[in-house]
Amino acid sequence: MVGGGCAPNARVVVVKVGGSVLNRGSDYFAAAEAALARAPPGSLVLVVSAMRGVTDLLIEASHGDLEALNAACYRMIDAALEVGGKELAGEAAERCSEKRGLAGSRDPYGAARLVALGEEVSSLVLRGALSQLGVEAASLMGGDAGISAEGDPFDAAVDMSATSVAVQGRLKPLLERGVVPVVAGYTGVDLEGRLVLLGRGGSDVSAVVLGSALRADRVVMLTEAGGLLTGDPRLVKSPRLLERVSLWEALEAARLGLRKFHPRTFDYVTQGLSLEVSGVSSPRGTIIDDRDSGRPVKMVVVNRGFTLLELAGLKESLDALAARLAGSGYRVAALEAPPGGGSALLAVEGPWEGLVEATRQAAARVKAFPGLASVALVGYGAGRPAALKAALDAAGGSEPLAVFRGAYSLGLLVPDEGAVELARSLHESLVVSGPWR
């Protein structure tokens, strides 16, 4: 085994392995090698997601679909067999068998344990890959690593105070012995000792929480894209890799729905911790830290499935309404209450049919405009007054249904059918080659 404890002042590096890079057993070897290239045993902590598509199957299984559970388990067991032979495959099969009785469970905590099976087995398989490479590793659930969280069992919020103490006590002894902790992302434990999930995409949160608790040098997120791009390659022409993005810009992009990040990822970043988004086979990626640099408008973020709500005669605050909608599974991307009165506007992502009923008690009159998309510019320059004129000029004068401003963003709400054309125009004119500063 590769051993040797960490040096007295060694800085920890947390590497998160995303599900987008895990499709088969061989991918775990590639991820392990990529992680070891960034930090040696004794300084390395790994956080791993479920294999691509497995969480979706497990969510279906939590509703009682045994075929979905079988499909997820077959994939995970096959990957374990490829990595560690019959012994590791047997361990993965045992974990699957233990959770089978949770399919269709009415207990939300039982359902959460089933959905977390993807990360649980993934941590076993990645531990197995490290072992095959001669590195001693320990497979841990988030709660075992010290992550404490409270709230909804599927969307719990981390208690950083309790977590920091527990993580230090549980992971530092492993690092000092040269053991690589392999933590199942997305998972934590509440005060009752029950497994809870940190929200869909919560492995990002796990990695940042561990990095902050350990006062790590940086958190590296290994993704298929290999970094943050100026736009979605499926929508815009020739998007470019961003070398550096500030924490505030990344936070705004996550809030606006950039799928690479859980919206709460940056809530747990402590001073001095930098993030890096890169690929398994590429050393170059995107650095995210507390510096503003590069072009003032860095990316275009497009999200579909929005409804614009126009609320007259508000009976509760917009913040309270947004929190209530979020608790019902909606995502409020933007809100605006004109200071002089008049109708308030909310841009809400999610099935629109129930929105009017969900907001009826909050206002005297509610109008809903479904079938919309959010096209947002992100960057320190996007919040400047001149950004709106430049964006409307690039859009050919077409008026959006609503405009939402943030300190580091400018969002335009438009009919879905025009979103891609607008995104391409904004990307070309303001992000890639535009002269505007």
One domain, residues 207 and 313: no
Query: Which pairs from 266-274 meet CB under 8 Å and 24+ separation?
Result: 266/208, 268/158, 268/160, 268/205, 268/208, 268/209, 268/212, 269/208, 269/212, 270/212, 270/215, 272/215, 273/208, 273/211, 273/212, 273/215, 273/216, 273/217, 273/218, 273/219, 274/217, 274/218, 274/219
Specify if 294 maps to a domain.
Answer: no
Domain co-membership, 195 together with 342: no
Residue 221 and residue 35: Cα distance in Å, rounded? 10
**Residue 356 confidence (pLDDT):** 75
Count CB atoms within 10 A of the CB of residue 291: 12
Domain membership of residue 414 (yes or no) is yes
Q: What is the torsional sign of CA 12, 263, 403, 391?
A: positive
349 in any annotated domain: yes
Residues 217 and 307 in one domain: no
Q: Looking at the structure, do residues 218 and 303 belong to the same domain, yes or no?
A: no
Q: Which residue, chain included where needed, has tokens 């075929």?
A: 67
Structural domain includes residue 123: yes
**Amino acid at residue number 132:** Q
212 with 112, same domain? yes
CB 211 within 8 A of CB 168: no
Spatial CB neighbours of 434, under 8 Å, sequence gap ≥ 6: 297, 390, 394, 428
Domain harbouring 199, CATH code: 3.40.1160.10
How far apart CA 254 and CA 259 sit, in angstroms, is 7
385: in domain: yes
CATH assignment of the domain containing 352: 3.30.2130.10
pTM: predicted TM-score of the whole model, two decimal places: 0.85
Widest CA span of the chain, in angstroms? 69
CA distance 335 to 323: 12
- Give the structural domain span for 367: 299-432
105 in any annotated domain: yes
Per-residue buried b or exposed e for 269-285, using 16+ beta carbons within 10 Å of the residue's own CB: beeebbbbbbbbeeeeb
Q: Provide the CA 173 distance to its chain's centre, in angstroms.
A: 28
What beta strand segments (E) does 211-354 contain? 218-222, 244-246, 274-278, 286-289, 299-314, 331-336, 344-349
Q: Which two tokens stand for residue 97?
A: 């068998």
Number of domains the chain is built from: 2
- Please say whether the beta carbons of 333 and 347 come within 8 A: yes
188 - beta bridge partners? 196
Strand partners, 100: none
SS (HEC) of 122-183: HHHHHHHHHHHCCECEEEECHHHHCCEEECCCCECEECHHHHHHHHHHHHHHHHHCCCEEEE
**Structure token pair of residue 394:** 């690039």
Last residue of a domain, one of 193, 222, 251: 222
CA distance 88 to 115: 20
**Residue at which a domain ends, from 222, 243, 258:** 222
Q: Are residues 113 and 26 in the same domain?
A: yes
Tell me the C-alpha distance between 160 and 163, whole Å: 5
pLDDT value at position 339? 63
Same domain? 304 vs 217: no
What pLDDT score does 4 carry?
40
233, 290 contact by CB (below 8 A): no
CA dist., res. 238 & res. 236, Å (int):
7
Structure tokens at 130: 């490290």
The three-state secondary structure class of 350 is coil
Q: What is the pLDDT along the chain (437 residues), one digit of tens a residue?
A: 333 444 334 689 999 999 999 999 999 999 999 999 999 999 999 999 999 999 999 999 999 999 999 999 999 999 999 999 999 999 999 999 999 999 999 999 999 999 999 999 999 999 999 999 999 999 999 999 999 999 999 999 999 999 999 999 999 999 999 999 999 999 999 999 999 999 888 999 999 999 999 999 999 999 887 889 999 999 999 899 999 999 889 888 888 877 677 778 888 988 889 999 999 987 779 999 887 777 889 999 998 888 888 888 878 887 888 888 877 778 787 777 666 567 888 888 877 777 777 787 788 888 888 999 989 999 988 888 888 888 888 777 678 888 888 889 998 989 999 899 999 999 988 887 755 44
Residue 343's identity, in one-letter code, is S
Q: Are strands 244-246 and 195-197 parallel, antiparallel or unpaired?
A: unpaired
The first and second tokens of residue 204, run together, are 């990002």
Return the axis-axis angle of helices 419-426 and 385-394, rounded to nearest 10°: 120
Last residue of a domain, one of 165, 193, 222: 222
The total number of residues shown for the chain amounts to 437
Please indicate, yes or no, whether residues 311 and 400 belong to a single structural domain of this protein.
yes
Domain-embedded: residue 170: yes
Residue 108 in domain: yes
